[in-house]
Amino acid sequence: KLQPRGSHCMEGCFAPLLRALRSALGGMSAAVQDDATSAAASAAASAADLEQAAKKARTTAAGIAAVAGGANGLDGAATPAPRGAEGRRLRKEQNREQHREKAREHKKERKRAQLQRRQEAKRKVLESMTPEECSAFLVWQKTEGLALKHEADASLRRAFEDGKPKVVINCSFSHIMHYKEQTSLAKQAQMSYVAIRDMRSPIQLHLTSVNAENPSLRPLEIIGMRGWILHVHEEPVWKLFDLSKLVILTPDADEDLEEVTEDKIYVIGGIVDRSVSKMQSRQQAEEHGALCLRKLPIKAHGPRGAHPVLNIDIVVRILAERLSRGDDWPGVLAACLPSRYSGGPTGRMLRKERARQRKAASQDGTEAGARAAGSDDGEDEDDVDDDGDGEGEGSSRSSDAEIPAAAAAA
């Protein structure tokens, strides 16, 4: 109850200072509170922005996932093989493609084996010669090869410039053929060219309708058409030659071809179809006004049961042979038709038979070598012949007169 002396005086003296301090503290707390409030508001705004950004990201990811899912669905729909007729067709096409690939590989292996056999045969011939004979043989082989090449080129050049009759391969049917058939057309054209070259025939060979739109142009270029000595035209045969001189060779004709004359132009349809479609070449010829339609007299002079539809190169060979032999249709057809037409073995059968013979010969040689090695164990290593000419039993020499025969063997 008792207060110190002067307390009221001190309270009265410090009252303004206390009020100023309270006022200052109140302002500071208000400022701190405002700063805290603004910081909280900023944090809330940042959190809202982050939430909105995350929401957008989730939406974008969902869209990407949906698109990817749709693409995967499409891919998944294309991956399984379709059922029914379409599935069977696709499986057959895949099987055919696999078979073609195996056939191509087998053909390459067969060619490599054939080349190795030729090289081995030539090596054996050369080993059986003395160095002088070997040199003479190689010179003769090179000279003979160059002479044959010059002779063939000269014959082709004469046929190209002044050859008669003209034989035309009409390549305007390529758009109705598959790629494999177009490749076969190019191969048959090449074999026709080779037949004329090897037979030294005066026939002048033409290829027509070989333009940029023709799908057979590429196979022809791949097989080497640009290096051939023959006439290649972009125009169709109907615009290049006189229709009155054209002889359209078609198996659908009503009359047989009786003779081959130099003043005519013989047109062969460049059609290669696995399933033969009739009346194509005849219909095209009649549409363009060609009236001379003929077929080869296979039924009249050929072997019984022979098919009238032939490869292009076979037809070219028949025309060339008929031109050189004269009126001997039975002999011409017997010489030119494949052996299967007369009941003989096919090319595949002959190849298999040769392969069997080679295999049997190699086995016999191996057994003979083993027997010889066993029998030579107790014998002398040096074999001397009776006449004392210095050559043993195993040596063999070729004279100069035998060089052409060795070349034929090689």
Q: What are phi and psi of 269, to 5 degrees?
A: -70, 125
The residue count for the chain: 410
Helix (H, G, I), strand (E, B) or coil at 207: strand
Tell me the pLDDT tens digit for each residue of 74-95. Answer: 444 445 657 788 888 888 888 8
**What is the C-alpha separation between 179 and 174, in angstroms, rounded?**
9
Q: Is residue 321 classed exposed, middle or buried when 0-12, 13-18 and 19+ CB atoms within 10 A define those classes?
A: buried
d(Cα 5, Cα 281) in Å, to the nearest integer? 145
DSSP string, 50-100: HHHHHHHHHHHHHHHHHHHHHHHHHHHHHSSPPPHHHHHHHHHHHHHHHHH
CB 270, CB 170: distance < 8 Å: yes
Residue 275, classed as helix, strand or coil, is: coil
Q: How deeply is 188 buried, as exposed, middle or buried, from its count of CB atoms within 10 A (0-12, 13-18, 19+)?
A: buried
Q: Tens digit of pLDDT for each residue in 107-147?
A: 889 889 989 998 998 888 888 889 898 889 889 988 998 99
Query: What is the pLDDT at residue 392?
Result: 36
- Of the candidate ranges 24-38, 242-256, 349-363, the one whose mean pLDDT is the lowest: 24-38
